[in-house]
A and B are shown apart, each in its own frame.
Chain A
């Protein structure tokens, strides 16, 4: 009752179950290859590592090696000096990250074709990777300008990126919880196999009454209790007796959740959060460099 038979999370076990002579062997093996590609496995970290490695040393190394004294005494404008430092790094790293981000696109599309929820790959390919790298670059530049030493600034930047990622994840979960769930699957009568719409995320269960009205699990239990169905024992978490009674009286179990289209709505918020962090940290770093002692 937890998902379709094409759930990619079952791929490894399916692959293991299929013997080399079975007809399922080749598809299962093919899926195992697209499920965990190394490129996508690296994508959660890549924009942050690249952004920090590019951003931190720009100011921190100059302050650490005291070369900032020479540079800032020669360049009338520290902003123009920093822009000159920043430009070649952005010119090298930007296209590099973009290449990896867009190369990961088809890989993610392959996974989605197998029923994998595309929203789970959000931020692992496409423009969001670039925006995350931009945010990490801004954070790196900022921590470098604050700390003035490369290694501590890198560690602080990594901690800030991790906190940002965790906080964004929490906000995303809260946002998802606020979405009105839709029916993504319905149990057929007489206990057949439940088929859940592909690329969807299950958030709960409901019942459909014989008159077509959706009722909550608790409400359905109250109806069953009123009809004399005994309350479940402590070890009966699935409340089998109520389920059997409801099924026999025309009620249908519904699997509710959010579809991929709904979950992908987070992409714009994700881009806004990381973009805002980049847009704030970058000018702040410029401001700090203008005010800082070399």
Chain B
């Protein structure tokens, strides 16, 4: 009466003791990690916030903030390389962000955008030069800097085993100024209920949660490291709209890194172009567009071309400095400057 179908075979293949032990150990670890450790951590984060210890910390924070510089971000000769014998990720970068601006940090992959942004929150230490956030060096006083900065990492790095509400609780425990109700309202506007588990969210939804966390801190400087990369066009538009409304309403300053120029053009008023680890353009967007024009590459005789690049129809274009009002789009300004870096690199080689 023996059967040969796969189901019977699977039933007859009983797990060995070793299999059971491995599975048991795995389950025990999962139980420990997900239930005991995470639950205990979440419980601890709900610890009352108005303790005398916290009051003294708050007083210290107020004292520190009273001496902060009014310039949100100043980068002076910043250089960073990850290994001694490797090329510099960023070198000799200097620029200052105007207060209340939304700055686009634009550049190709590997230009050093993330390195620069991470150094502003103390995640990277400069090998040369310095970064000053409200006049404070993040590598010397990271707590003061972190207290005044909201950060959205390149890939949403949230706890997959926790709910959105748990994240808000953690943020509220970490920052006294965290505006939980505003964060909930922002998330509700994009259809995200606090009860949802982060592990169930799409990449775009996770980015929205990360943005809500950063905006909820009511920080005066927001650092957004390519937050648009994982979003679809509609989500991108929503994300940027919420960013602009919140930043303008709070009088904050924001840095938004991206390699998609079209996205940042809608919301940013200042432009920093990074290429080959160096700052190649630092200008208000309107001025940049006004100062440059695009012409055909064959018509550049007698003119000082910044760079040559291919147009949308395959034609060769050149970016030139214009004496009168320029006609270049922001994308053309960026492309022209990046092309100039490529040309100088080729010449050096």
- A72 and B142 CA atoms in complex are apart in Å by 10
Q: List 10 A-B contacts (CB under 8 A).
A: A69-B157, A70-B210, A73-B153, A74-B175, A76-B61, A76-B142, A76-B174, A77-B143, A84-B41, A293-B123
Most chain A beta-carbon contacts within 10 A, residue among B29, B146, B150, B157: B157
Is the pair A74, B40 in contact by a Cβ cutoff of 8 Å? no
Is the pair B40, A89 in contact by a Cβ cutoff of 8 Å? yes
Instruction: Digitize A61-95: 1 where CB-to-B-CB distance is under 8 Å, 0 elsewhere.
Output: 10001111111111111100100110111011000
Stretch at the interface among B31-39, B69-77, B325-333: B31-39
Query: What's the tally of chain A residues with a CB closer than 8 Å to chain B?
Result: 28
**A115: CB under 8 A from chain B?**
no
Q: Which of A103-150 contact B (CB under 8 A)?
A: none
Is the pair B210, A57 in contact by a Cβ cutoff of 8 Å? no
**A195: CB under 8 A from chain B?**
no
Q: Known: A81-B174, A293-B123. Is A53-B158 also a contact (CB below 8 A)?
A: no
Is the pair B158, A75 in contact by a Cβ cutoff of 8 Å? no
Given contact pairs A65-B160, A88-B44, enumerate 13 new A-B contacts (beta carbons under 8 Å): A67-B157, A70-B210, A70-B213, A74-B170, A74-B174, A74-B175, A76-B146, A76-B147, A76-B174, A84-B44, A89-B37, A92-B36, A293-B124
Q: What B residues does A72 contact at CB under 8 A?
A: 123, 146
**B102: CB under 8 A from chain A?**
no
**A294: CB under 8 A from chain B?**
yes
Is the pair A294, B123 in contact by a Cβ cutoff of 8 Å? yes
Give the interface of A toward B (CB within 8 A).
Answer: 53, 57, 61, 65-78, 81, 84-85, 87-89, 91-92, 290, 293-294
Q: What B residues does A53 contact at CB under 8 A?
A: 29, 32
Q: Known: A57-B33, A76-B147. Is A87-B213 also a contact (CB below 8 A)?
A: no
Q: Which partner residue on chain A sits nearest B118 by CB separation?
A: A293
Q: Known: A67-B158, A84-B44, A88-B41. Is A74-B123 also a contact (CB below 8 A)?
A: no
Query: What's the tally of chain B residues with a CB closer than 8 Å to chain A?
Result: 39
Q: What B residues does A92 contact at CB under 8 A?
A: 36-37, 40
3 A-B pairs with least C-beta separation = A88-B40, A73-B151, A74-B174
Q: Which partner residue on chain B sits nearest A290 by CB separation?
A: B142
**B285: CB under 8 A from chain A?**
no
Is the pair A73, B170 in contact by a Cβ cutoff of 8 Å? no
Q: Which partner residue on chain A sits nearest B214 by CB separation?
A: A73
- A66 and B210 CA atoms in complex are apart in Å by 13
Q: What B residues does A87 contact at CB under 8 A?
A: 44
- A73 and B221 CA atoms in complex are apart in Å by 12
Is the pair B36, A85 in contact by a Cβ cutoff of 8 Å? no
**B342: CB under 8 A from chain A?**
no
Most chain B beta-carbon contacts within 10 A, residue among A61, A70, A71, A72: A70
- A229 and B63 CA atoms in complex are apart in Å by 93
- A293 and B167 CA atoms in complex are apart in Å by 22
**B149: CB under 8 A from chain A?**
yes
Q: What A residues does B214 contact at CB under 8 A?
A: 73
